[in-house]
Structure 1
Amino acid sequence: MEFFQMLAWRWDVTAAKKLTQGRTPDGRIEPSEWAGMLRLVAINAEHATQVDLSEPLIVAPVPNGGLLIIDGWHRLRKALDTGVPELFAVVLTAEEELTCRMFGGEKGEGYIR
């Protein structure tokens, strides 16, 4: 299972990929706007050079927190390194985010399921 964790929140990325498989991207990410967040994410520099930038990122709405990339940080790093100004993204619905959230948030909203 592949997962993404940010602070006290964790998402099942494998489940998110299954939910979004074949879906047309419905969002766009400007890598430069997310560059500061890379300090909070562990990036394998070698892996980042090998990722496919045509694969859309997966973005989740976080309750009371806006949007968060839960899959695609290595693509974001490569886009920044190679000067790609925009990446496509699939944005999860609130229900899908809750389905993929392993823990974090309020009880009754996906907390330690």
Structure 2
Amino acid sequence: MSSCDPQTLVQKALAARELAYCPYSNFRVGAAVLTSDGCIFSGCNVENACYTAGLCAERTAISKAVSEGDLEDRFISPCGGCRQFMREFGSQWDVYQSKSDGSFKKTTVEDLLP
């Protein structure tokens, strides 16, 4: 597993949040994924008038990593709706849940699921 300062991931997620397309909720979300080879993929939420067609920031970041061929270990900060999506690719990912002030707490995907 590649190492990375968790604060770097939080900062990447905060930067991605600024790119969010959220005209319906006005709620910006950003996420960052650290892959096993040290690449960081970030993503933002992308809303749609048909709510189910929108994308969560976590799914955007994971999809970017998968589309670049990275299916291995990653770190990510999830929303509740993305936990099962993440579990599909692994249960022992380290998860950093962060606040807009940059503070965070560490857990795992498995710990977040019932």
> What TM-score, normalized to structure 1?
0.23
Greater relative contact order, per chain length (Cα 8 Å cut-off, separation 6+): 1
